[in-house]
Chain A
Amino acid sequence: MYENITLSKKSKQFLENLRVYLFSTGKKEKEIDEIVEELEDHLMQAEQNGKSIEHIIGQSPKYYMELLASEMPIDVKAWMKYIPMILFGAFSFTIVQDLFEGTLAYSLLEIFGFLIISVLFLASISLAFRYIAGKNLSSRKQFVILYPVALLPLALFFGLIFLNKQVTTPLINFGLIGTIIIGIVTVIFIIGISIWSKTWVLPIVLAFVTLPDYLLGFTSLTESTRLITGTCFTFGGIMIYFWVSSKVAKD
């Protein structure tokens, strides 16, 4: 790219913000690259001719970003890939936490409940995406549609936990071998996801959520002390991890 010509700091900042904004609204990576490059080229020529950035993007960068975003389609395919990952990620959290408690055992209601919620979630989110993709809606309207859909499984999971305490259904015991197999599959899945997504956020957060409680169980601390220290380790650890990784990303 232009190595001898540099863009003003303000323009660089704007392009950076635009990229983040478009990415966070779920646009296609290729299209984001294209429009950012096009604007970079435009801004460079404009600045060489002594035009200000306001002359190009108007008085409100935010308004201009929204204008661009509203003309770009959401990357449905990429999201359809992420969603099962998020879902299985949630499963792996439950499974790993339960693995520390011994062999796995779930009630029939829990197993079917999980499956039904997953199917409902996948169906509703794909419907919502299809509706949005065909409608040409503003980002705000898209958010209004997607937000309840994203919250739906959360509400249903809480409902399931509550219901599971009220209703007794047969308990399915996976036994030692079953537990080991599920454990291995889960670990392979977590490693696979981390390699695929090029981030180790899932296993690291998982470790901070499960390990402190487990390790503190071996100490002679009282239960309330264990609970408090465990929580501190969990949240502190996750916060430090995000802080360090954002530092690394900046450099």
Chain B
Amino acid sequence: MSTTQMMKGILDGCILAIIKNKEVYGYELAEKLGEYGFSNFSEGTIYPLLLRMQKEKLVTSILKKSTAGPKRKYYRLTENGDQALKDFIRRWESLQTNVNHVLAQETKNERKIKNDV
């Protein structure tokens, strides 16, 4: 599986988490993801994701005036979005635990085998 494949579902969850705490507009969201270390994806990727989340009613958008320039679209989490974020966190935590177990156990076994040899 390529990183981009794996990223898709994870990005969804991270976007929801960022929007939950503060209404953001597109560029702000991309910047935040970049600051968190998601640097090797193209920023525009967030827009198809945001379009889908709006269609699935996980987020809504409102237009707000910005100090310089045009009105900006700010995204806000809906109740469905909040639920989806909770589900994501639950799935992520169990996935993370499983992966950690696998890696910890298997590397231990690997060492054991090497030592036996």
Contact = CB atoms under 8 A, between A and B. Distances in A.
Contacts of B48: 67-68, 70-71
Interface SS, B side = helix
A73 B54 CA distance: 12
Interface stretch (A52-60, A112-120, A159-167, A200-208): A52-60
Contacts of B23: none
Interface in A97-150: none
Of A1, A38, A44, A51, which is in contact with the most chain B CB atoms at under 10 Å from its CB? A38
A42 to B, nearest CB: 5
B115 interface: no
B37 interface: no
B42 A68 contact: no
Contacts of B47: 35, 38-39, 68
Nearest to B30: A42
A82 interface: no
Contacts of A70: 48
A242 interface: no
A29 interface: no
A34 B73 contact: yes
B68 to A, nearest CB: 8
Given A34-B73, A41-B70, A41-B72, A64 B27 contact: no
Interface string A19-45: 000000000000000110111011011
B43 interface: yes
A70 B52 CA distance: 9
A2 B72 CA distance: 13
A46 interface: yes
B53 to A, nearest CB: 9
Contacts of B27: 41-42, 45-46
Contacts of A45: 27
A56 B31 CA distance: 11
Given A5-B69, A42-B43, 10 more contacts: A41-B70, A42-B30, A46-B43, A55-B42, A55-B43, A56-B44, A57-B44, A58-B44, A71-B51, A73-B55
28 contacts: A1-B69, A2-B68, A2-B69, A5-B69, A34-B73, A39-B44, A41-B25, A41-B26, A41-B69, A41-B70, A41-B72, A42-B26, A42-B30, A42-B43, A42-B44, A44-B69, A51-B43, A54-B42, A55-B42, A56-B42, A57-B42, A58-B42, A58-B45, A68-B47, A71-B48, A71-B51, A72-B51, A73-B55
Interface of B: 25-27, 30, 42-45, 47-48, 51-52, 55, 68-70, 72-73
Per CB-CB distance, the 6 closest pairs between chain A and chain B, nearest first, are A71-B51, A58-B42, A57-B44, A56-B44, A67-B48, A56-B43
